[in-house]
A and B are shown apart, each in its own frame.
Chain A
């Protein structure tokens, strides 16, 4: 058994409280908020407390586990409480799971994104479960007058075997809550897990299939108004004047006004991406009435002037220029082509790449391009807010609630403590909902109207608002010697407005002479995180290039990668390589075995790709079949190393989703612009993968090991682009460099209307 320290971080420590009506509650509390007298046991400090603890055990034995992180479909609401239940040692079927409100003083990290929920939640959640179990043991020890070390637990029952005494957790909970939180509590051995590593159904499954109101857009409150926004039709434009006479006179309409969303001098954090700081708002009684009035508002637009905003983000405080002008995809492409030919910022350099390229036997150079992508979450942007002079109540879909509290506080003029955010289940996230501009907009509208308001974007508002996956390009060059050994590797990547290069990833470390460069261009088209940011492009480019390079070297593509990984393991170049060559090779070997690589069925074209990002290793083999000039994905085999898999079937589901999403975006995903106007505004124009293009079969194979768990929401997505491109090459004899690939193949658009 491992002894663990229950101090979670400098910021928090475990705290226990007696529940009103008996029982115990264990939570993390911020040191800063506690007065000396409140250490140890206390009664619930305020009305929200019962909703903001990790574990509640009622005197009646009811165990309620709080799921801290917002849920956007990665199933953290099931898998995170599973970790708590495991260490607490309770029967999963006797547990109730509830979504916690946003409450940073009680929970460590209420953020869903970056595939980090399970990875960063793993230890705190085990701590909470283990500490609670220890306290229940201590309570039993006191009651029975025996040593706590002699007490065992099983499925929510405490035993003292030698005297035959036993008690349920519920019986001991009230006493346990008066005891000090232990400094150390034992973790279970991995081999003793009874809940972790077993498949458990989504705790919200029944509510989902019966249409219960789970989502922000489903919310209702007494006296609630519906608000919609009109945003400029093009990036680079702003409101000049508004004629709202017709809209105001329409039935059910309460108000039409121009809303300034952020103060001019507001210093933004990294998640304060707000495309338009002036919006026209229409508010009224019902959605349909407001939708109609919105169409009747006549707005005159004008080009916005260049401006500079201050962003205090990951790279420290920076002035960011938002250029004036109306941008087009054609212009972007020619600028990107020009930039690709110029030297850029050197991100990493090993050896002497220039000389190595000069002396090479063979040199391969290829350029890859990918467009902007829209997230297109099925639930359009929306938020409910009720702001009064005293406080703000907000309920809506958001991945990063903490990051929006600064903007809310600045815009509303309320201290953060007066802003209460409740977390709705999100109808998709994919990165988009890390940016909480809709929270600020809804709250500011509610404040102005002095009423509870639900703000809803139309699909068109949502798809044309920005915060897209950036457009990227990368040029790869590689040099082979006379024995077909890789002697030099060069990547120069760029994008608008960020570059996609991760300089320390494979094959860095496996090549003596290595150069990585990055460049970026300013734009007024806003961008944001999109499922596996940057990796979602660069993996496809790199892994397509390696496929072509293996062919040039006359080697099997898996064997070629394994040789490089062997080199990275045995004689690594540089010290900053950020992957484990053994685990990387492990997924390649597993996918080779499970896909029966080398035994490609007749009529099938096969592509392989692998990638490491977001702390997890993935290799994928995709089988394509061409039918009537259309590529059909028959089968996908994936090997994944994400350490301990908490909830295997749910993990497989998440993995399948990442793969199918990748297939869709590889073939169809694209947003383009003319004079600042997005070319697509709804699903009749923006092609999404549908049932007919879904693979016939997907197999997910998890590497079995006892490594601490890492995430799955993102890592399956990036390599798909290359596996598809490499399979397409086998099928057509043509290499695919420009996404989406569907544009270059004769794929008939499928009829989507019923």
Chain B
């Protein structure tokens, strides 16, 4: 066990855990931030995507010791009122079916649009390819990302 300083959604906090614990389980089990989802535990499905210093990362394979003092943003902290343009576009296109993977999709999409404000369909598909949606809402996700890109401009 070790005390680790974290900055999550703009808030500094300290957790006392096994330093090998993945960020995903610290968020879910210790900090009650359950919007970040467990899907595979091996960076294959993207359900656990969060932002680490602005980059989309897979929290399920990220030992907590490696993220100390970095800026972590989860779905709960993406916007104050759930009104990030990506979230709004998701609602407008009524993207979700079961909804389980969508937090990860949204976190990946919002990181993509920060780096590439005007992605082509191919760039969207490439950037989003690590995020599985079992309900297969891919076509709507693509359209929502394009809508969000327009409103972010």
Binding site for B on A (CB under 8 A): 72-75, 199, 201-202, 204-206, 208-215, 217-218, 220, 226, 251, 286-289, 291, 376-380, 425-430, 456, 458-459, 649-650, 653-654, 656-661, 664, 682-684, 688-692, 694-698, 750-754
Do the beta carbons of A288 and B136 come within 8 Å of each other?
Answer: no
Say whether B98 contacts A73, CB under 8 Å: yes
Whether the pair B38, A654 counts as a contact (CB closer than 8 A) is: no
Measured CA separation A658–B33 after assembly (Å): 31
A688 touching B30 by the CB < 8 A rule?
Answer: no
Contact pick for A690, options B22, B57, B132, CB 8 Å: B132
Asked if A650 and B142 make an inter-chain contact with CB atoms under 8 angstroms apart, the answer reads no
- Closest residue on chain A to residue B46 by CB atoms: A754
Query: 0/1 per residue, B52-84, Cβ < 8 Å to A?
Result: 000011100000000000000011101000100
Q: Which of A199, A291, A427 contacts B98 (CB 8 A)?
A: A427
| A71 to B, closest residue via Cβ | B98
Q: Which residues of chain A are within 8 angstroms of B87 by Cβ–Cβ distance?
A: 209-210
Q: How far is the CA of A661 from the CA of B133 in the complex (A)?
A: 10
Chain B residue contacts of A74, Cβ below 8 A: 97
Please tell me which one of the listed residues B32, B76, B91, B97 contacts residue A73 in the complex, with CB atoms under 8 A apart. Answer: B97
Ordered nearest first, which 7 A-B pairs have the shortest CB separation? A211-B35, A427-B100, A73-B98, A660-B136, A694-B138, A211-B75, A73-B97
Q: Are A683 and B76 in contact (CB under 8 A)?
A: no
Known A288-B22, A692-B125; contact A459-B98, beta-carbon cutoff 8 A: no
Question: Hey, what's the 0/1 contact readout for B133-149 against A, CB within 8 Å counting as 1?
Answer: 11111111110000000
The residue of chain A having its C-beta at the shortest distance from the C-beta of B90 within the complex is A209
| Contact (Cβ within 8 A) A286 B96 | no
CB distance from B9 to the nearest CB of A (A): 11
Q: B residues within 8 A CB of A696? A: 121
Task: Decide if B91 touches A201 in the complex (CB within 8 Å).
Answer: yes
**Which B residues are in CB contact (< 8 Å) with A694?**
125, 136, 138-139, 142
**Contact between B96 and A208, CB atoms less than 8 A apart:** yes
Contact (Cβ within 8 A) B137 A653: yes
Contact A684 B44 (CB under 8 A): yes
| B6 close to A (CB within 8 Å) | no
> In the docked arrangement, what's the CA distance between A218 and B131, Å?
20
With A202-B94, A211-B75, A694-B142 as given contacts, are A682 and B99 in contact (CB-CB < 8 Å)?
no
Residue of B nearest to A660 (CB): B136
Task: Contact check, B139 vs A425: say whether CB atoms are below 8 A apart.
Answer: no
Whether A691 contacts B131 by the Cβ 8 Å rule is yes
B135: chain A residues at CB < 8 Å are 73, 428, 657, 661
Min CB distance B78 to A, Å, is 8
CB-based contact B132/A750 at 8 Å: no
In the complex, what residues of B have CB within 8 A of residue A684's CB? Answer: 42, 44
A-B contact pairs, 17 of them (CB 8 A): A202-B94, A205-B90, A205-B91, A209-B87, A209-B96, A210-B78, A286-B21, A378-B37, A427-B100, A428-B134, A430-B134, A456-B38, A660-B137, A683-B39, A683-B44, A684-B44, A691-B128
- State A251–B137 Cα separation when bound (angstroms): 41
CB nearest neighbor in B for A650: B94
Q: Which residues of A contact B41 (CB under 8 A)?
A: 291, 458-459, 682
In the complex, per-residue mask of B89-119: 1 if CB is within 8 Å of any chain A CB, else 0: 0110011111111110010000000000000
- Chain B residues contacting A217 (CB-CB under 8 Å) are 34, 37-38
Q: For residue B37, which residues in chain A have a CB less than 8 angstroms away from its CB?
A: 215, 217, 378-379, 427
Which residues of the other chain, A, contact B98 by a CB distance below 8 angstroms? 72-73, 377-379, 425-429
Residues of A within 8 A of B25 (CB): 286-288
Given the interface contacts A209-B91, A218-B34, A251-B18, does A378 sit within 8 Å of B47 by beta carbon? yes
Given A287-B25, A288-B18, A683-B45, residue A661 in contact with residue B36 (CB < 8 A):
no
| B140 engages A691 (CB within 8 Å) | no
Nearest CB of chain A from residue B144's CB, rounded to whole Å: 10
- Indicate if B8 sits at the interface (CB-CB under 8 A): no
B137 and A215 contacting across the interface, CB-CB below 8 Å: no
| Bound Cα distance A166, B129 (Å) | 57
Kindly list 16 other residue pairs between chains A and B, CB separation below 8 angstroms, not including A286-B25, A657-B135, A683-B132: A75-B97, A208-B102, A208-B103, A211-B33, A211-B76, A215-B37, A218-B34, A286-B29, A377-B100, A425-B99, A656-B136, A683-B39, A684-B42, A691-B126, A692-B125, A753-B44
Scoring A204, A378, A425 by chain B CB atoms within 10 A of each residue's CB, the highest score goes to A378
Residue numbers in A under 8 Å from B91 (CB-CB): 201, 205-206, 209
Q: Is B3 an interface residue (CB 8 A)?
A: no
Nearest-neighbour CB distance to chain A for B89, whole angstroms, equals 9
Chain B CB within 10 A, most for which of A215, A288, A650, A664: A288
User: How far is A373 from B94 in the complex, measured between Cα atoms in Å?
Assistant: 28
CB-CB under 8 A from B21, the residues of chain A are: 286, 288
A653 touches B42 (CB 8 A): no
- Could you tell me the distance in whole angstroms from the C-beta of A640 to the nearest C-beta in chain B? 16
* Shortest distance from the beta carbon of B109 to any chain A beta carbon, whole Å: 10
Contact check, A380 vs B44: say whether CB atoms are below 8 A apart. Answer: no
CA distance A226 to B18 in the complex (A): 17
Do residues A459 and B40 form an inter-chain contact, with CB atoms below 8 A? yes
Partner of B126, one of A291, A458, A459, A692: A692
List, in ascending order, chain B residues with CB within 8 A of A659's CB. 136
- Chain A residues lying within 8 Å of B106, measured Cβ to Cβ, are 209
Question: B57, B94, B103: which contacts A205 (Cβ < 8 A)?
Answer: B94
Contact A202 B132 (CB under 8 A): no
Which of B17, B42, B131 contacts A682, CB < 8 Å? B42
> In the complex, which of the residues A208, A288, A425, A691 contacts B129, with contact meaning CB atoms closer than 8 Å?
A691
Question: Is B43 close to A, CB under 8 A?
Answer: yes
Complex: chain A residue closest to B122, CB-CB? A692
Min C-beta distance of A423 to chain B, whole Å: 14
Q: How far is the CA of A660 from the CA of B41 in the complex (A)?
A: 25
Name the residue on B nearest A695 (C-beta).
B139
| Cα–Cα, bound, A192→B96 (Å) | 29
Whole-angstrom CA separation of A683 from B132 in the bound complex:
9
- For A460, give the chain B residue with the smallest CB separation: B41
Point out which of A199, A376, A682, A694 has the most chain B C-beta atoms below 10 A from its C-beta. A694
CB of B82 within 8 A of CB of A653, answer no
Q: How far is the CB of A453 from chain B (nearest CB, A)?
A: 14
Q: Are B76 and A210 in contact (CB under 8 A)?
A: yes
Which chain A residue lies CB-closest to B100? A427
Q: Contacts A206-B82, A288-B21, A653-B94; is A691 near B124 (CB within 8 Å)?
A: yes
Which of B17, B82, B99 is the one whose CB lies under 8 Å from A204?
B99
How far apart are the CA atoms of A697 and B138 in the complex, in Å? 10
A224 to chain B, nearest CB (A): 10
Q: How far is the CB of B123 from chain A (nearest CB, A)?
A: 11
State the Cβ distance, B49 to closest chain A Cβ, in Å: 9
Q: Is the CB of A211 within 8 A of B137?
A: no
CA distance A378 to B82 in the complex (A): 23
Which chain B positions have C-beta within 8 A of A75? 97
Most buried by A among B34, B98, B100, B121: B98
